[in-house]
Amino acid sequence: MGLHPSYGSKFERLQRQPTRDYAERCDKLFGTGTQLADAWDAVDWASMPSRPDRFRFFTDLEARATQVREYDTARISGLLQTPAYARALYRFVQPDVDSTVIEHDVQSRMERQTRFLAPGGPFLVVVLNEAVIRQHVGGREVMFHQLQHLIDIPKRHPNIVVQVAPFELGERTGVSGGFTLLELPDGERWAYSESMSRGHAVSDPATIEMQIRAYDRLRADALSATETACLIASVKREFVNMTTGPTVIHWNAPREWKTASYSQGDGGQCVEVAPSAAQVEGVVPVRDSKDRSGPELTISPAGWSAFVAGIKAGEFPTL
């Protein structure tokens, strides 16, 4: 048949899905009429092979892929996770295992990222449903750093693109769950998705083409890379400003109020801040310089620091 023996061996080990043309050529070689082609037609390739090992088959494909395209609806892609985010997920699904097991799993996930973060790494496109970036995983501090990672990584690695499919797309996401499209060096293509206990890998050309079209439409409707970075930055600030519990404020504590040098002589058109109060009160008070006896806005020290850093970095528009 003009094929290397390893080619057919992959079919026998369920590592690759045969094409209908392959079945027809086997019929001709073995003199079996149309039996193998008919058998191929009878298989529901959209759900085969279904693998109880879930991940091992997929990671083998991923390790060889030249291009990976993902749509994630529940969690941030493992290729973009921080160690703390991954650790929180592993701890949830394995609450009773020893910490060394969790750390081994986290390290394995980080190692999967290595080839994509190397210079000239494979092309990686990840579309995240907006719910993914708003989902609390590991607490607000973990999410803050994870979202910052999503902003930073495309800047550092031109082979990686991150986009968000916003809530407003509604049914235009076109799919009910996440999936991954992989292209291998020899042009071989796979689609992979997971259910509760199994992984589903498909290489049928017709099915692959259908999922590629769905993915292309999804990317066309999703936010651009620039718009995505802005949305993620906005959500990140929300995590910073959250409080994990009630804050006890000592109202009689002395404060050293500071007014910006840009403020007018009468204190108008500006605000005052007492950053030193954070050491006593656990918050940074902010008030209107035109109404010093009026109400105060209290911000967490981390939130204030992030706000100041954002201004210095030009994240906020100026009038």
Domains and CATH numbers, the chain: 17-45 (no CATH), 49-240 (3.30.870), 258-312 (no CATH)
The helix/strand/coil state of 190 is strand
**Which of 2-6, 179-183, 258-262, 270-274 shows the lowest mean pLDDT across its residues?**
2-6
> How many Å apart are CA 124 and CA 79, to the nearest integer?
9
Write out the H or E segment, with its range, that includes residue 163: strand 160-165
What are the tens digits of pLDDT across the range 32-63? 999 988 988 887 665 544 444 556 788 888 99
With 0-12 / 13-18 / 19 or more C-beta atoms within 10 angstroms meaning exposed / middle / buried, residue 267 is middle
Local confidence band at 128 (pLDDT 50, 70, 90 cut-offs):
very high
Residue 199 has pLDDT above 70, yes or no: yes
Residue 109's pLDDT is what?
92
Residue 49's pLDDT is what?
44
Residue 248's pLDDT is what?
47
Task: Kindly report the number of other CB atoms within 10 A of residue 88's CB atom.
Answer: 20
Residue 72 has pLDDT above 70, yes or no: yes
Q: Give the percent of the chain with pLDDT over 70.
A: 82
> How many Å apart are CA 108 and CA 137, to the nearest integer?
19
What are the tens digits of pLDDT across the range 141-175? 899 999 999 999 999 999 999 999 999 988 777 66
Instruction: List the alpha helices (DSSP H) in 43-98.
Output: 56-64, 83-93
312, two tokens: 């210095």
Q: Name which of 160, 163, 179 is nearest 121 in CA terms.
A: 160
Give this prediction's pTM.
Answer: 0.63
Residue 318's pLDDT is what?
63
What are the tens digits of pLDDT across the range 82-124? 999 999 999 998 888 888 999 999 999 999 999 999 999 999 9
Residue 145's pLDDT is what?
92
